Amino acid sequence: MGKLWPSKWYCVVWGIAGFLVLSSGGISGNIVTKVVGAMLLFAVTSGLLTSYVKSDHIVKRALEVIFMLLSFGVAIYGYIITGSFILGVITLFIVAMVLFAFVVSYLLPRIRGNRMKT
């Protein structure tokens, strides 16, 4: 199975973008900008751990999940605090992706198993 992202530079660019967005929100006082920047940073950190840290240690896997849950939690928190339409759409998109991933991870082995039998 290949890497999720093409190169480490891709992750670095998204990480810098997340930091700049978070910093911009801190300077301007805009909560939505802070939330989007924090979500980017947590998601990029989880992606880096998933793609580039070569370990099957339980701590690494736990950190991947924790950073993704933090990203999701920040989106929900930001939506509850601000009621922003953008954060609501982002939250719904994340929920849809998580549900799709669970459904696919459940169905795909069953589909492959049926193909192997025939």
Question: In angstroms, what is the C-alpha Rg of the chain?
Answer: 17
Residue 3 has pLDDT above 60, yes or no: no
Residue 116 has pLDDT above 70, yes or no: no
Q: Could you tell me which of 78, 52, 51, 47 has the C-alpha nearest to residue 65?
A: 47
Residue 1 has pLDDT above 50, yes or no: no
pLDDT of residue 5: 52
**What's this model's pTM, rounded to 2 decimal places?**
0.70
Token pair belonging to 57: 């240690």
pLDDT of residue 4: 53
The proportion of the chain whose per-residue pLDDT surpasses 90, expressed as a percent, equals 16
Residue 113 has pLDDT above 80, yes or no: no
Are the C-beta atoms of residues 84 and 32 closer than 8 Å to each other? yes
Q: How many CB atoms lie within 10 A of CB 48?
A: 19
50 vs 24: which has the higher pLDDT: 24
65 vs 111: which has the higher pLDDT: 65
Residue 19 has pLDDT above 90, yes or no: yes
- Which whole number is the average pLDDT over 77-100? 85
